[in-house]
Chain A
Amino acid sequence: MSRSWMHQFAGGLMAALTAAGCAGGGSANMAVDADAAQAVYVAPGEHDELYAFLSGGFSGNVTVYGLPSGRLLAQIPVFSQYPEKGYGYTEQTKPMLETSFGFIPWDDSHHPKLSQTAGMTDGRWLFINGNNTPRIARIDLTTMETVEIIEIPNSAGSHASPYLTENTEYVVSATRFSVPTPQRDISIDEYKTGFDGVLTYVKVDPNSGEMAIAFQVKMPGFDYDLSASGKGPSHGWSFFTSYNSEKANTLKEIGASQNDKDFIAAINWKRAEECVASGLGVATPSQYVHNKMDHSTMRATSRAMTSVTMLDVASCSNLVYFLPTPKSPHGVDVDPTGEFIVAGGKLATVLPVHSFSKMLAAIEAKAFDGEVGGIPVLKYEAVMAGEVQNPGLGPLHTEFDANGFAYTSVFISSEIIKWSLKDFTVVDRTPTYYSIGHLLVPGGDTRQPYGKYVIALNKITKDRYLPTGPELTQSAQLYDISGPKMRLLLDFPVAGEPHYAQAIEASKIKDRQVRTYALAANNDPYVVRSEAETKVTRSGTKVHVYMSSIRSHFMPDNIEGIQVGDSVFFHVTNLEQDWDVPHGFAMMGARNAELLLMPGQTRTLVWIPIRVGVYPFYCTDFCSALHQEMQGYVRVSERGSSVPLKWNSPGQ
């Protein structure tokens, strides 16, 4: 470890401690004003003013909270099986979790991003990345359901994702771990020469939201960390932070922390489009899958894909420039005007701010400081707009308000700093409890932030709540930013680890919520639209039960003639067309999960009975006064038994 680094660490630590002392932080109780409760109180029956979508981190989900109350409204399963909703267990949803490696029941969800039009959130879709086995998911905000997942090939660890362009032309992904591309059996010691870092641009259909990989860019084998897209004047560019420009392949905590500066890669994606259009991309064999929920059948399908278009920086000139950026930058964020590119140099003693207009001028003037991997490195002084002094220790992420201020999360000194985009000086700082990662200002990544709040997303809570064994919750903290000083209002535990989060005005979403699925438009091949259509059929050892549920009974609810070892497909349709009347379906001994059926929806559970006897099923969602009576029986006979298939549908 270099001595200079140690000095910087100690210096930063002292600065942060002094600053925290000045801010009057100290005891948690002292940090909260007497009227804080009133500022976040949403009376019973009243609605919150904002929806907040938090990544569930290693839960693989997205959680939906109301702000400012901090009330948990919903959990949306994305990359992980979710037995409560049958997600990833039902025949309709299992294909969503397929990958080129087969069915994977889990991932690590990181960064939710709301779709944008003209640089403003439009309330249509939420995208989120799966970090472990690189994937991007799309959630339909009218149903709050995951409707699409696309795997990102030639990548390992999709961390800088799914940052999107200001009209949602693209969502991007970058490999966190450089890997041999295409994958091959080589020694890890060949990292410096044999590993590549691939950036991915996923095109989003402006009407359907459907994703397709447009092209990939092969870059030097660094670790790529986070991304932001230009807006306004810088629209057409995207920025990726990188660390490990040292190309270390072991003990990266030391090996990747040696260079004084790493890089922000500035990608001119409009130029990339030109290169692809003029045939400079190379069709590269790549295995990945594309999973989609069909709108009409409400069934997911998984399609294997075999090729992507790869751009090499050598063949497409003027595509990428490197902006030198101090010390393993983590976050990169573009201010509302599109001019300033803020890097969170997590080991740096200053917070560097690059200027987009200076960057263009430097490219024009060829103010280069050599090349790395065939990519021109711009002179630091030529692109730098300013350095925020005394940012605390471990600055990570920055969001913006409407008044020309930026808010940066600072991990090691556990604080938020507020600084001015006019003179790059810190004007306020406030402690967080503890070790803040991302932060969010509602609209803070758009062209017009509107938030009155900044929300800290904390990794550690230690003494903040009643302890719950060795594992303690992560948390979110809500601060009022309407005055000159940040003011802590609320502190609430969150489900899973929230990496990034996004918030949006409730008015953009709440009136578009789907209340029921139209039974008439349900085209699941096993749908029943009335009890008269219910039936049981057998073909070999497969038994299909076309079942209906409505308050408060299943039809049929007595089934005989099932044999040990049969695969019994319960295709259950909820015939209700009434808001907030789901039914559940649980089968004793079924080794998967329950079904949770929204009104008008069909879902299928497979049950393979292993013992003779009579087994019950029942409704798990308290649907009505006679919910307890909503149950039925299946008789299971020996294999080869002569008990005929029999059930009690109308007309039987």
Chain B
Amino acid sequence: MSNNLLFDFNVDAEAKTVYITREFNASLTLVWDAFTRAELLDQWVAPAPMRAKTRYMDFRVGGRRFYAMISPDGQAHWSVQKYTSINAKTNFKVFSCFADEDETLQLPGSDWDYTFIEHGEKTTVMITIYNDSRDRLQKMIEMGFKIGFTLTLQNLEDLLATLSQKI
């Protein structure tokens, strides 16, 4: 990694929970916005070459975000996030669920908890993802795996392109 920002990642199969902690080199206000405003979220949540597109986002308790992760081949993977709790610039909780393009939920979903802590010029974000079922945890990782795998292939393509230019 090019930076030395803290990044911690743990999967607890027994608790059906994923724990992620990441430090950012920015103020709490800015980091909070990046996690809670659609126009900013769409710029980073999809790992390239995938892209994210929010159809709508209503950031208030009881409100929802309906968005898609779009693969390079144009295939959209829809998800719905329902905001269950919000404490400005401290914490928010969402119930997240895969969906189809008509916003029909594919239950079960998972519960996400985001906590933000500012220290000096940095901000730490702690994410806890709890899944009701192990199936769902598996599906979530499977999805991440596919994306990770696509990225690996993409990186390989880039590498091959660079190498072939050198010849």
Genuine A/B complex? no
**B positions within 8 Å CB-CB of A:** none
**A positions within 8 Å CB-CB of B:** none
